[in-house]
Amino acid sequence: MLYYELTGFMTPPKSHVNSGAFDLPPPEETALLLDFDGTLVEIAERPMEVRVSDRVVRLLDRAQERLQGRIALISGRTIEDLEHFLPSFDGPLVGIHGTEYRIEGEREVSAKVDAAIVSRLHRLVEDFVALRPEFVAETKPSGVVLHYRQAEDKAAHVMKFMEALACAAQGFKLQPALMAYEIKPEGVGKDTAVQHLMELPAFEGHKPIYAGDDLTDEAGIKAAQALGGLGIKIGDAESAARHRLATPSDLIDLLEHWLA
């Protein structure tokens, strides 16, 4: 959401996404790229409170088999978090919006960051939260998130604080997210993650199906659609996706049926 929308000076644009029934292309022609929070799991009050259902674990196993490995997760989470929540998933993982990758078990970092800047950002945001415990700080190896889900009316304060930090952090940018502002490395995004994954030998030549709910997923959705695939938006926010589902459980229903 833009600052002017947040402060009530501007109305968010209406969405034109198709929310009616839709079919997916045959599994043999596709690769599945899934976001995590708000897409595979319901949003929780705090980052480490999300719950992964047995259905999701079974669905990922089924997708691995039916798509012959053409399934990957592309998340704003760290790879460490994704491995914590999905210990049995051994397909490709993309963490921190395209900053880190785990492919065939090997870890790669796509953006070099200044460790001194990251540690200063961690300290400043943690100090802020120590004074204002209604907010939640989430540190990442290449940035930091300040969550305001427990104090929605303070969104503009958080935005101003994070904007000021981001301006002073060379090589980093502010990323608005769901009830949070993140400072992440410049030049990384879920669009480049989609392009990178779709060049892997197992994925190449297939149509990417990308499902996501957050602002950062828009880049992934557009990249998947530009490659001849399709985007599915979860939730009712504005989106470039051609298709929409209301909740993570609607997505799981659709994918279970499709992969049956």
Ligand X SMILES: O=P(O)(O)OC[C@H]1O[C@H](O[C@H]2O[C@H](CO)[C@@H](O)[C@H](O)[C@H]2O)[C@H](O)[C@@H](O)[C@@H]1O
> Which one of the spans 6-14, 62-70, 75-83, 120-128 is the region binding ligand X (CB under 6 A)?
75-83
Whole-number minimum distance, CB 47 to ligand X, in Å?
A: 3
Residue type, 204: E
3-state secondary structure of 233: strand
- Is the distance from CB of 72 to CB of 93 less than 8 angstroms? yes
Residue 231 found at the interface with ligand X (CB under 6 A)? no
Q: What are 124's two structure tokens?
A: 């400043």
Whole-number minimum distance, CB 29 to ligand X, in Å?
A: 25
- Is the distance from CB of 148 to CB of 132 less than 8 angstroms? no
Residue 191 found at the interface with ligand X (CB under 6 A)? no
> Which one of the spans 33-41, 98-106, 163-171, 237-245 is the region binding ligand X (CB under 6 A)?
33-41
Look-up: residue for tokens 């950062």?
216
Backbone angles phi, psi at 154, to 5 degrees: -105, 15
Considering only 2, 7, 19, 44, the residue that binds ligand X (CB under 6 A) is 44
Whole-number minimum distance, CB 193 to ligand X, in Å?
A: 10
Q: What are 95's two structure tokens?
A: 């963490």
Q: Give the strand order in the sheet containing 143-147.
A: 136-140, 143-147, 180-185, 172-177
Whole-number minimum distance, CB 85 to ligand X, in Å?
A: 10
H helical segments located in the chain:
3-6, 54-66, 79-85, 115-131, 155-167, 190-198, 217-226, 248-259
Residue 215 found at the interface with ligand X (CB under 6 A)? no
Clarify whether 35 is annotated catalytic.
yes
208 strand-pairing partners: 31
Residue 75 found at the interface with ligand X (CB under 6 A)? yes
Q: What are 254's two structure tokens?
A: 């659709």
Whole-number minimum distance, CB 10 to ligand X, in Å?
A: 22
Residue 129 found at the interface with ligand X (CB under 6 A)? no
Residue 50 found at the interface with ligand X (CB under 6 A)? yes
- Is the distance from CB of 217 to CB of 210 less than 8 angstroms? yes
- The residue nearest ligand X at its CB is 76
Catalytic residues: 35
Binding stretches for ligand X (CB under 6 A): 35-38, 43-47, 50, 75-77, 138, 145, 147, 149, 177-180, 214, 216
